[in-house]
Structure 1
Amino acid sequence: MKNKNITLILLSILAFTIIQQSYAQSYPEFKSMRFEEDYSVLANDTIKKDWYREAKYIPLTSSGKTFLSFGGEVRYQYFYIKNEKWGDEPKDADGYILNRLLLHSDFHAGRHFRAFVQFQSSNASGRLDPSPVDSNPLEIHQAFVDLNVFSEKDRQLIFRTGRQEFSYGSQRLVALRDGPNNRQSFDAVKAIAGFKNYHADLFYSHYVVAEDGIFDDYSNKEKQFWGSYLVINKIPLIKNIDFYYLGYKRAKAHFDDANGKELRHSLGTRIWGKYDNWRYDAEAVYQFGTVDVKDIKAWTVTLNTGYRITSVVLHPEIGLKVETISGDKTKNDNNLETFNPLFPRGAYFGLASVIGPSNLVDLHPSLNFELTKNLNWVLDYDMFWRYSSQDGIYGPNTIMVYPGDSSTDKQIGEQFESEITFQPNKYLYFRVEATWFKAGDFLKAAGTGKDMLFTGATMQIKF
């Protein structure tokens, strides 16, 4: 506990120093994927030089085209869960603490070569039986090199190889997994191409399995992932559209009505954009392939939209998300209709993260209020049903939560969530939240079926 207090004090000092020395100075905005930040713009800047500026841009040649950049983030979270897994998990009287440290270095040698390395340390204190998603003490999270054939305003061609993060579209199928304590990565080769309003990625990878040790994560050849993703921007009327194909192969898959080797192909499209105060994001995916001897015939359709009322106080945004995600229709037949979300963001339906996007019908209205410029309050309400009464419910990683044969009831439950986020500047982020999950008929039949309460607080600093 003493070490944690010292760490928090040091972080507070660091945060205060960065804030004080960064007022009236202009740096590139932080990105979710830190390797997307470009600090070469500091080569000819007029920003007053200080320790922070020196860490973000360290020229190694007189021209300044070869340089180093350093950065990272620290996140502390406290969570308390009452009736975890609706009462079927051991009781935890005082909650648990998660902390995550990410540190990276970015080396550029002229315009054509780049190397990026990022370390991750994720730890859980007080967590009963923490999983690798919660605890991964110290690992090389990313380590890749780029060969930049050309990168100009309207065209780009980059070849990337090594351990790296993936994030595509709305992160429904391929995500950073930033919500949980341990972000995910892949050992991959990738080609990145862009021309005017077109951007395309082509990749092949092995999933990196997290182990609860130091420098022991490994590339899992039994989980192969490949695909292509095309984004077209500035289209009349629809604004933006994505087309993608994703292939996934794993040696051991476990569904309610199928077990064994899985080979799954996903074809999808997404339309997204903004019109004035409207935002919209619609996506459809069809999956085919095999699990053992069964043919996959799975799909999902989702719509996520919202409207911001700027003419009234607090600028409320009214949001609505609806989605239908297929589940297996008939036991012991030759088909499997259970949708596999592949590598989604862990906190798929809020940070409580108790249900994953398989065999599900979801109706999710929300309200978002701008209390001040840097303070937001979100209220949302989620209703969950099973798509098929013949299939069970799954976690975000398709691990079975409850099999489907315990009841024919489809109602899973209702989730009420409230969160307040405060971001005084780009370096600091705070969040407090509370989620109450009211167990429905299926949960009461499949398990203990108690209502679940999830509360949490987050503090994060980026630098």
Structure 2
Amino acid sequence: MAEEDRANDASDAVSVSLSGEARVRYEGYNDPTWGDAPDDGYLLLRLMPLFKAEAGPARIVVQPIIGYAIGVNGGGGPVDQTGIDLLQGYADLHQPLGEDGKVSLRAGRTLIALGSQRLLGTRYGPNTPQPFDGIQASLIRGPARLDLIDVRAVVIGAKDFDDSSKGGRRVRSVYLTTEAARGINFDLYWIGYEDSAARLTALEGVETRDTYGLRLFGERGRVTWNWETMIQRGTLAGRRIRAWSQATETAISFPGVLLAPQLRLRANIASGDRTDTPDKIESFNALFPRGRYFGELTPLGPRNIINFNPGIVLTPTGRVQVELNLAAFWRASRGDGIYDLAGREIRTAGTAQARHIGNLAEVSLTLDLENGLSLSGSLGAFTDGPFIHQSGTVSTILMAGGEATYRF
């Protein structure tokens, strides 16, 4: 047999692998939403094995999920429980393109993470990640990557084998990321969003929303940055959408200092509706953001919000990390309420005029052990600011979480 034929046979050989993770997580809340809801404490169980078969340029991935919630008040929602279902199931093809390029095509059910996942993420932190059904094409050439996406969000059901993208929200995107100079990168993108049954407070109808974004990120020496500007246009129930958001994260590390501290500052603003513009929707929609957006357990999401969030990360050893997270929150508009990560309004504006919502203090510990096991825990308190006092019940939210994850 010729050497070339042997090489072709080797490249076409089928390889099969198994990996995945198992996780147990506890979350507990005293006075959720500042006393609007009863105390809650529950256990989240998740198993996600991943089977992968590869042969030459082709790959098939199948990843089921087993996810259950035990003890949630009112029963577990989509982010808590899915039963037994298919998390990922896709096939993709990839081909070299010149010396430093590659083109790939993927079809099926998959998790998607674009950029820093402020608009389209895997939602890994909660018990049920967010999959999508559809197609993706990627073109990579040197430091540049272009992603084309046309998918529908999978609607998570609480029973076994009932997750489906039928009737789900549609997402299309053209997403370019490249390097402007050494250590300086940018993303330029458009994300198109369609929801046939959208709801924003008392408003219901068809929503079509286009997001145009620019993200600047990189590092120079000990300094890293990740800044993103997002502008949204479209319609919701016939009303014009005019929304926007600015998100920033800047950090500086001191690797030669005791505990190798990293100082971090996040500052964010997301627009909200104003009472003097009733013909417009000015509330920003974060679409499908990453889980735990402002911290491990905070109830707020990025809609009608101003957030100032300093923090420090300490690394005593390579396997131990401690993070202290402080944050203050204000309403961007007095005419709008406050929302959770899923976009549900959790406090209406009413007659309240105060902007300050409250302050968050949170500490978390992560310990990576050998053989794929990691442990983590967090404690937090979210105080009640003037807006909470003016809009309803008043109390400090106490939060606790802990999890054990085994990756194999």
TM bucket normalised to smaller: over 0.9
Q: Which residue in the other structure is 1:321 paired with?
A: 266
Determine if the alignment matches structure 1 residue 203 to structure 2 residue 132. no
2:200 is aligned, of 240, 255, 277, to: 255
Tell me the TM-score normalised to structure 1 length: 0.83
CA contact (8 A) 2:183 2:220 kept: no
Determine if the alignment matches structure 1 residue 131 to structure 2 residue 71. no
State the number of aligned residues. 399
d(CA) in 1 for partners of 2:298 and 2:62?
Answer: 29
| Per-residue deviation, 1:424 | 2.7
CA contact (8 A) 1:257 1:331 kept: no
In the TM superposition, 1:289-438 aligns within 5 A as 289-330=234-275, 333-425=278-370, 427-438=372-383
Q: Which has the higher helix share?
A: 1
| Per-residue deviation, 1:449 | 2.1
In the TM superposition, 1:182-197 aligns within 5 A as 182-197=128-143
Q: Which residue in the other structure is 1:180 paired with?
A: 126
Distance 1:446 1:75, change over 3 A: same
d(CA) in 2 for partners of 1:395 and 1:365?
Answer: 21
2:112 is aligned, of 145, 166, 169, to: 166
d(CA) in 2 for partners of 1:423 and 1:120?
Answer: 23
Q: Match of 1:223, as an amino acid?
A: R
Q: Match of 1:215, as an amino acid?
A: F
Q: Which residue in the other structure is 1:11 paired with?
A: none
CA contact (8 A) 1:257 1:332 kept: no
Q: Which residue in the other structure is 2:5 paired with?
A: none
Distance 1:63 1:357, change over 3 A: closer
Determine if the alignment matches structure 1 residue 146 to structure 2 residue 76. no
Distance 1:195 1:330, change over 3 A: same
| Per-residue deviation, 1:150 | 3.1
| Per-residue deviation, 1:257 | 6.9
CA contact (8 A) 1:258 1:336 kept: no
Tell me the TM-score normalised to structure 2 length: 0.94
Q: Match of 1:296, as an amino acid?
A: I
Determine if the alignment matches structure 1 residue 79 to structure 2 residue 27. yes
Q: Match of 2:32, as an amino acid?
A: E
Q: Which has the higher strand share?
A: 2
d(CA) in 2 for partners of 1:320 and 1:332?
Answer: 33
Summarize deviations over 1:254-298 as a string: whole Å, max 9, x none.
Answer: 224743211000000111111111111010000000011211111
Q: Which residue in the other structure is 1:90 paired with?
A: 38
Distance 1:294 1:305, change over 3 A: same
Distance 1:177 1:258, change over 3 A: same
CA contact (8 A) 2:183 2:219 kept: no
Q: Match of 1:388, as an amino acid?
A: S
What SS does the aligned partner of 2:387 have? helix
Q: Match of 2:172, as an amino acid?
A: W
d(CA) in 2 for partners of 1:144 and 1:245?
Answer: 24
d(CA) in 2 for partners of 1:304 and 1:433?
Answer: 21
Distance 1:98 1:406, change over 3 A: farther
In the TM superposition, 1:24-43 aligns within 5 A as none
Determine if the alignment matches structure 1 residue 69 to structure 2 residue 14. no
| Per-residue deviation, 1:353 | 3.6
| Per-residue deviation, 1:448 | 1.3
Structure 1 unaligned residues grouped into runs of 5+: 1-60
| Per-residue deviation, 1:447 | 2.6
Structure 2 unaligned residues grouped into runs of 5+: 1-8
Aligned Cα RMSD in Å? 1.7
Q: Tell which deviates more after alignment, 447-456 or 397-406.
A: 397-406
CA contact (8 A) 2:295 2:325 kept: no
Distance 1:114 1:100, change over 3 A: same
d(CA) in 1 for partners of 2:197 and 2:283?
Answer: 15
Identity of aligned residues (%): 31
Summarize deviations over 1:207-232 as a string: whole Å, max 9, x none.
Answer: 10000011110113341111111110
| Per-residue deviation, 1:145 | 0.8
Distance 1:152 1:429, change over 3 A: farther
Distance 1:64 1:223, change over 3 A: closer
